[in-house]
Amino acid sequence: MSPLSTALLVLLVPLASAVLIALFLRTRGTAASVLSVAAASFVALGALVLAFGGARFTGSLEWFRLGSFAIELGVKFDDLAALMLSIVGVVGLCVHVFSLGYMHDDSAKARFFGGLSIFMFSMIGIVLADNLFMMFIFWELVGFSSYFLINHYCHKQSAADASKKAFIVNRVGDFGFILGIILCYWKNGTVNLTELGAGHALVYSRLIPLLLFCGAVGKSAQLPLQVWLPDAMEGPTPVSALIHAATMVAAGIYMLCRIHVLMVPPAMTVIAWVGTLTALYSALCAVTQRDIKKVLAYSTLSQLGYMVAAFGLGSVSASMFHLTTHAFFKALLFLGSGSVIVGCHHEQDIFRMGGLRARMPVTFWTFTVAVAAIAGLPGLAGFFSKDAILVLAFGSNKAVFAVLALTAVLTAFYMLRLWKIVFLGSARSEEAGHAHESGFSITAPLVLLAVLSVVGGYTAIYHGAFDAVFSGVPEAEGPTHYIVLATSLTVLLLGAGLALAFYATDGKDALEERAPGAFGFLVALRASFDSAYDYYVAKIQQRLAMALNFLDLVVLSGVLIRGFSGAVEILGFGVRTLHTGRINHYVYWFLGGVVLLWAFAAGIL
């Protein structure tokens, strides 16, 4: 099988599954979806083998042409695509297997698995796209998949509202993205990634990269468009793991890495600070969350901020490195939370859990690995990728380094808070008291992802296929090595120590009780963007809409359109009165007209 055929196969297999489920398997599409993603993952690993062998290829066909403008559909397979494809395949397979147990009793599970298949097709399309127009098509399909799956529990008003919110907020970012694509084509005559990557005679501007970055701001939930992601947790937990943690939200980072050649220093500075502030803001918001999935949602926002900051500081390698390790341990955290939710009979309030260590040992130990990885315990995946970003920031921008280090303290704090409250102590509700370990289909993916969360940070395993991606991962030398390492260990110990000391296992929120002022501030900070958008919609947008509606009804429709139509109608009424159908009346009008013409010719009128 040729490399191009392999790429097309891994793209089209999930689509075929979605079509089969929609047309023929509306009540039992589970097996088709799981088998399709297993096949796609197998082919993706085959493509990975090709990448290790040095395979790099492109291929395209013309979709339609309008004069000199043409849109092509094509495949660009290189080391970056191979890396992302393997992440999507492995995490996607884990989530599908996990979903067999999690969605076992759901009456609409065929619809759910159909949605997952559409997502896999869309996400693989983004990874393999060889031009920005094609990427945008799949970009929108991924957004549709997210909207569709967030609203899986469509009988809940909160799920319907969350899906609409995600859809609308992403439209804002995607509008900027398509404007950037159009401007890039206008200025450079192409949006083909290979041609752009060659860098020959490119037109550089601040506007093109910033408009393209708008797409990443929406899809990867960066400030100020981050408000949709926490609400997206209304969807089933496997959706949160696959779409809203490991893959779709990382599409913005992948897109930025694809177009890095277009970046200019002013735009990179903006991108770095957007990512840095998102990381800090989201970490602060996570501290006061009680819902286990929303803690992880804000954690995802924060880690995405790290990736964006790394890219803004000039390192595609550091950004993609953290994207890779984060996909493993964050998928593990979300699937672990799903196992906890199932075990506790769908309880999601962490302060109504407790004592799950003995009742759910596999979930406890795998979740512990993920917590240690995201907190930055030396030797685990998160430690290496986070430190690579800190090394980069230390050498590039000390202010960014300081903010990211503070964010690391908060990360260790809220993750150890979550871990301690959920797993230690005694059960604090009837649901937790009757908790039980999940079945094999749920625990097996947890074990696999736990292994990847341990070994995923050792870049030696990436050599060969991914040399070009990870060859530029920042490494500290000399004094910088000791400064960054000391900082990493300090922030880990400080954050974890504060959480373990501050929170008891009696089910009380220590921050709310011991520091109500700080708690209130953080709650207000968390709600600030939603409050601002609510005010904008209710007080500004609605009034603007009312003013425009008045302009439309009174000025445009009333005065202009109806005024002119009324004048024409009156004129017509007057003319109609002249047509009586009597010949003598027409003779009189004829004679009158002749007299008027004579008077005009004689100069009398």
Model confidence at 247, in pLDDT bands (50, 70, 90)?
Answer: confident
What average pLDDT does this structure show over 311-316? 94
- pLDDT score at 467: 62
| Under 8 Å between Cβ of 388 and 316 | no
| Under 8 Å between Cβ of 33 and 117 | yes
Which tops the pLDDT comparison, 72 or 375?
375
Model confidence at 567, in pLDDT bands (50, 70, 90)?
Answer: confident
- Measured CA to CA, the distance from residue 386 to residue 399 in angstroms comes to 16
Q: Which residue has the tokens 């660009």?
A: 76
Q: Lowest mean pLDDT: which of 38-52, 321-335, 453-467?
A: 453-467
What is residue 192's DSSP assignment?
B
As given in the structure block, the two tokens for residue 260 are 């890095």
Q: How many CB atoms lie within 10 A of CB 175?
A: 14
Report the mean per-residue pLDDT for the chain: 89
- Measured CA to CA, the distance from residue 40 to residue 7 in angstroms comes to 10
User: Sign of the C-alpha dihedral, residues 459, 460, 466, 467?
Assistant: positive
Maximum CA extent, the chain: 116
- Measured CA to CA, the distance from residue 100 to residue 471 in angstroms comes to 39
Residues 6+ apart with CB under 8 A from 548: none
- Residue 75 pairs in a beta bridge with 59, 129
Q: Is the pLDDT of residue 2 over 80?
A: no
Q: Is the pLDDT of residue 360 over 70?
A: yes
What average pLDDT does this structure show over 282-305? 95
Phi-psi bin for 355: left (phi > 0), alpha (psi -120 to 50), beta?
left
- pLDDT score at 137: 95
Per-position DSSP letters for 474-514, written without gaps between them: ----THHHHHHHHHHHHHHHHHHHHHHHH--SSS--HHHHH
Q: Which residue has the tokens 């289909």?
A: 441
- pLDDT score at 507: 65
Q: Is the pLDDT of residue 220 over 90?
A: yes
Angle formed at CA 374 by CA 395 and CA 151, multiple of 5 degrees: 120
Residues 6+ apart with CB under 8 A from 238: 95, 96, 98, 99, 102, 103, 116, 335, 338
- Measured CA to CA, the distance from residue 90 to residue 246 in angstroms comes to 11
- pLDDT score at 144: 94
- Measured CA to CA, the distance from residue 215 to residue 412 in angstroms comes to 30
Model confidence at 596, in pLDDT bands (50, 70, 90)?
Answer: confident
**Percent of the chain residues past pLDDT 70, beyond the cut:** 97
Question: Which backbone phi and psi does 199 adopt, to 5 degrees?
Answer: 75, 15
pLDDT tens-digit map of 528-541:
999 999 898 888 88
- Measured CA to CA, the distance from residue 97 to residue 187 in angstroms comes to 46
What average pLDDT does this structure show over 93-105? 92
- Measured CA to CA, the distance from residue 299 to residue 326 in angstroms comes to 11
- pLDDT score at 114: 93
| Under 8 Å between Cβ of 496 and 413 | yes
Residues 6+ apart with CB under 8 A from 558: none
- Measured CA to CA, the distance from residue 102 to residue 95 in angstroms comes to 10
Model confidence at 104, in pLDDT bands (50, 70, 90)?
Answer: confident
pLDDT tens-digit map of 107-149:
889 999 999 999 999 999 999 999 999 999 999 999 999 999 9
Q: Is the pLDDT of residue 581 over 80?
A: no
pLDDT tens-digit map of 517-526:
888 888 898 8
